[in-house]
Structure 1
Amino acid sequence: MRLSQLTLENFRSYDHAQLTLEPGPNVLLGFNGVGKTNIAEAVGYLSTLSSHRVSADAPLVRHGQDQAFIRANAHRGNREAVLEVEINPGRANRARINRGSPVRAAEILGVLRTVLFAPEDLELIKGSPSARRKFFDTLVVQLRPALATVRQEYEKVLRQRNALLKSIRHEGFTPTHESTLAVWDQQLATSGARLLRARGDVIAALRPHVTEAYHQISQSVRTARMSQLSSLSGYDDDAGDSGEQDQNLESLTTEELTEALLRRLHEVHKQERDRALTLVGPHRDDVRFTLDDTPVKGYASHGETWSYALALRIASYRALAEDDPTEGAEPILILDDVFAELDARRRARLADLTGEAEQVIVTAAVDDDVPEHLLANAYRVRSVEQISSVEPHQSPPANSRS
């Protein structure tokens, strides 16, 4: 899979800009702040409808404008599609495929697959459970786009149920509240079970790839492992990484997960009414990353942490490629300012692994950060205003980091 042309209108720092991309590595070189990451972000957004930098759409629209557009010519084997996303903060985003009539933005999910790695991915290891949940759920939607609707439904039910719990705490628990809570319990369990089943499938699919990729990147004899921490088994999101792993979760069917969620919700009703908060469900779960049996978070070295984060992204790439083995269907690999964070050994190994992708997009501030064989198709970004100022890579300046 690859893009041949990318067009941005009112996206981040760009008024109107167009960039031609080639198969293989495409390296964007330039000072920090000139908009290289904006390009990587736009490609990722076209694939997932989310940014790796911000949680809301408003910052993606150029200051003073109401909407932004991302357009691209996407190639999957011998097939080509023109994709467009219209970003409307505060309103529904829309999409177009092959210049057709506007449709819901979610309709574009699955057409383009990308895997984006950036310095922010250290939060997958060091950050809160919400970062890890987002990582796995984004991959779930890439693999099965129809689950985007289930995820939205779950989040809507969760908001309604939490609002009801707040009313109960202020007004007291009445028979009306009890019957309404039962309705929300059922809806939360139904959609939550589908998310848990899908998340479990993704974790199971990633597990061997994470182990292999970690070894390839670090050359360590330690084994990278993952285990689920579930609110169904008493894991408390607020208590941090202190729960016991749930070894049986991945073996349960969707129907069994629905029943398990309902039972657990009934068990914690009193605590939920006291706290006015839903305490059970996929929004409260986590995944523990370990090297052998030692948690990565809080115990691993800086290099080990980076290697594990890289392994998660490489594993994601391989899981997506495995899901669709059609020639030319491999995801686009995006490496946003990653090489600067790695030592020479890990840079070389990551560069070797990029050879699996039909197209790679790399951003870097310093030429020397990027392994030389990736610079065959490199461009220098000199202007924050327009991508049209990107020029073919020539001799590097003495120092281009800022």
Structure 2
Amino acid sequence: MRISQLTLTDFRSYAQAELQLHPGPNVLLGFNGVGKTNIAEAIGYLSTLSSHRVSQDGPLVRHTAKQAFIRAETHRGTRQARLEVEINPGRSNRARINRGNPVRATDVLGILRTVLFAPEDLELIKGSPGVRRRLLDDLAVQLRPALGRVRLDYEKVLKQRNALLKSIRHQGFTATHESTLEVWDHQLAEAGAHLLHARLKMLSALRPHVATAYQQLSGSVRTARLQYLSSLDAPEDPGSLSADSLDLSSLEPGSLEPGALAAGGLAPEGLDSGAPVPESQEENVDPAAQPGSLDVSALESCSREELTALMLQRLNQARREERERGITLVGPHRDDLSLSLDEVPVKGFASHGETWSFALSLRLAAYRVMVDDDPEEGARPVLILDDVFAELDARRRRRLAELAAEAEQLIVTAAVDDDVPESLLGNALRVESVDQISQVTLHEPG
């Protein structure tokens, strides 16, 4: 998989730019702040409809412009597609495929697959649980674009349910609230179980590749381990779960009445399905600190239907506390991913080199999972390494170059060519800033 031509219009620091990209390594050289990362970000956005740097689209549009465009000629084996994404902050984004009529931006998901590593990915180790949840969700959506809609559905229901719980907390609890909660419980459980099931599948696929990549990068005999931390307590017998087996006697039958959520004032609009589930301080609680014993292996063996039933059960059990606190306490928005070397947590205990190696291993493992998903010749995802090599010692730099060389197309950004291993110095482009407008030219060595 590769891009032969990339065109940016009013994207970040680019008024207009057109890049010719080749198979194999492509190196973007330039001083810090001239716009190299903006190109990497644009390619990643075309693939995932989200930025690795910001959560909103506003900063992606050049100052004074109202919208931005990313266009690319993509190749996947013998198939070719021209993609265009129109970024409209505050409004719905649009897309065109092969110069056709405008369609939903989400229709481009899955056409171009990318894996991007940037210094911000150290937050996978050091940052909040939401960063690690997004790793699993983004990978799942790239492999199965329909999960983007599930992700959006979960986000919408979660916002509505939280609005209702806040209303209950401030105004008191009524029978109408109970029946409305029942409706939201079932919608949240269905979407949440679908999302959780996808995450657990991604985790299972990632595990062996993370362990292998870490050993290849670091030369260490220690094993990189991943474990899912869920806000659900896994059942002793997953097969015993079904929607009919749950004790929901405390829930009064009813349906959603018109205007029942008016007090909450929430009706989300303009959300992109690629957007991560929003975080708040309360949503980043360590699931392992919650009551109960987590049997992760049992949880991973659950079907979607069993996870739905389990989530409904846990929501019912948490009903009183949720009403008191005014927030949803159960669901994938409160989960985390535990990262360790052997039995030692990486966060807070790993060295600088180990932290970089682990973060890189997570992205390289995602690359391998995509290759496994579609081993067809010409289908390997585009690999993007943004300002990485300058942070690595000579051994890790050499090993990363060897691993990255297998990509059909590799995009590397660096301040100077000395930062890039000689084996990767292929098509080199110079990025410069003139009057705060980024420009790209062919790099002449020396």
What TM-score, normalized to structure 2?
0.86
Please report how far the alpha carbon of residue 239 of structure 1 lies from its aligned counterpart in structure 2 after TM superposition: 4.2
Number of equivalenced pairs: 394
- The 3 A distance-change label for structure 1 pair 238 and 77 is closer
For residues 311-336 of structure 1, give each alpha carbon's deviation from its aligned partner in whole angstroms, at most 9, with x where no partner exists.
00000000001101110000000001
Q: Which residue of 2 aligns with 1:99?
A: 99
> Matched residues in 1 for 2:7 and 2:54: separation?
21
**SS in structure 1 opposite 2:433?**
coil
**SS in structure 1 opposite 2:145?**
coil
Q: Which residue of 1 aligns with 2:243?
A: none
Does the 8 Å CA contact 1:228/1:245 hold for their aligned counterparts?
no
Q: Which residue of 1 aligns with 2:268?
A: none
Q: Which residue of 1 aligns with 2:321?
A: 271
> Matched residues in 2 for 1:63 and 1:291: separation?
44
Q: Which residue of 2 aligns with 1:398?
A: none
The correspondence of residues 217-236 of structure 1 with structure 2, limited to 5 A, is: 217-233=217-233
Please report how far the alpha carbon of residue 242 of structure 1 lies from its aligned counterpart in structure 2 after TM superposition: 4.5
Q: Which residue of 2 aligns with 1:172?
A: 172
- Is it true that 1:20 corresponds to 2:20 in the alignment? yes
Q: Which residue of 1 aligns with 2:56?
A: 56
Does the 8 Å CA contact 2:19/2:440 hold for their aligned counterparts?
no
Q: Which residue of 1 aligns with 2:121?
A: 121
- Is it true that 1:349 corresponds to 2:399 in the alignment? yes
Match of 1:312 among 342, 362, 368: 362
**SS in structure 1 opposite 2:84?**
strand
Does the 8 Å CA contact 1:17/1:386 hold for their aligned counterparts?
no
Match of 1:379 among 429, 432, 438: 429
Q: Which residue of 2 aligns with 1:394?
A: 445
**SS in structure 1 opposite 2:222?**
coil
The correspondence of residues 130-209 of structure 1 with structure 2, limited to 5 A, is: 130-209=130-209
Please report how far the alpha carbon of residue 23 of structure 1 lies from its aligned counterpart in structure 2 after TM superposition: 0.5
Give the letter for the 1:221 counterpart.
Answer: V
Give the letter for the 2:308 counterpart.
Answer: T
* Unmatched 5+ stretches in structure 2: 235-281
Give the letter for the 1:16 counterpart.
Answer: Q
Moved more, 257-266 or 378-387: 378-387
Please report how far the alpha carbon of residue 229 of structure 1 lies from its aligned counterpart in structure 2 after TM superposition: 0.4
> Matched residues in 1 for 2:348 and 2:427: separation?
39
> Matched residues in 1 for 2:84 and 2:121: separation?
27
**SS in structure 1 opposite 2:405?**
helix
Does the 8 Å CA contact 1:227/1:247 hold for their aligned counterparts?
no
* Unmatched 5+ stretches in structure 1: 396-402
Q: Which residue of 1 aligns with 2:83?
A: 83
- The 3 A distance-change label for structure 1 pair 239 and 92 is closer
Please report how far the alpha carbon of residue 246 of structure 1 lies from its aligned counterpart in structure 2 after TM superposition: 2.1
Does the 8 Å CA contact 2:9/2:70 hold for their aligned counterparts?
yes
Give the letter for the 1:311 counterpart.
Answer: S
Please report how far the alpha carbon of residue 237 of structure 1 lies from its aligned counterpart in structure 2 after TM superposition: 5.6
Give me the CA root mean square deviation.
1.4
Moved more, 201-210 or 377-386: 377-386
> Matched residues in 2 for 1:277 and 1:222: separation?
40
> Matched residues in 1 for 2:6 and 2:317: separation?
52
Please report how far the alpha carbon of residue 245 of structure 1 lies from its aligned counterpart in structure 2 after TM superposition: 6.2
**SS in structure 2 opposite 1:52?**
coil
> Matched residues in 1 for 2:116 and 2:196: separation?
24
For residues 340-390 of structure 1, give each alpha carbon's deviation from its aligned partner in whole angstroms, at most 9, with x where no partner exists.
111111111111101120000000012211111211321221235666541
> Matched residues in 2 for 1:117 and 1:238: separation?
24
**SS in structure 1 opposite 2:16?**
strand
> Matched residues in 1 for 2:300 and 2:57: separation?
34
Does the 8 Å CA contact 1:213/1:311 hold for their aligned counterparts?
yes
Does the 8 Å CA contact 1:19/1:388 hold for their aligned counterparts?
no
**SS in structure 2 opposite 1:300?**
coil
**SS in structure 2 opposite 1:112?**
coil
Q: Which residue of 2 aligns with 1:211?
A: 211
**SS in structure 1 opposite 2:338?**
strand
Q: Which residue of 1 aligns with 2:348?
A: 298
Please report how far the alpha carbon of residue 73 of structure 1 lies from its aligned counterpart in structure 2 after TM superposition: 0.2
> Matched residues in 2 for 1:393 and 1:358: separation?
24
Bigger fraction of residues in helix: 1
> Matched residues in 2 for 1:143 and 1:379: separation?
31
Quick one: percent identity of the two aligned structures? 68
> Matched residues in 1 for 2:283 and 2:297: separation?
18
Q: Which residue of 2 aligns with 1:328?
A: 378
Give the letter for the 1:53 counterpart.
Answer: R
**SS in structure 1 opposite 2:412?**
strand
- The 3 A distance-change label for structure 1 pair 62 and 138 is same
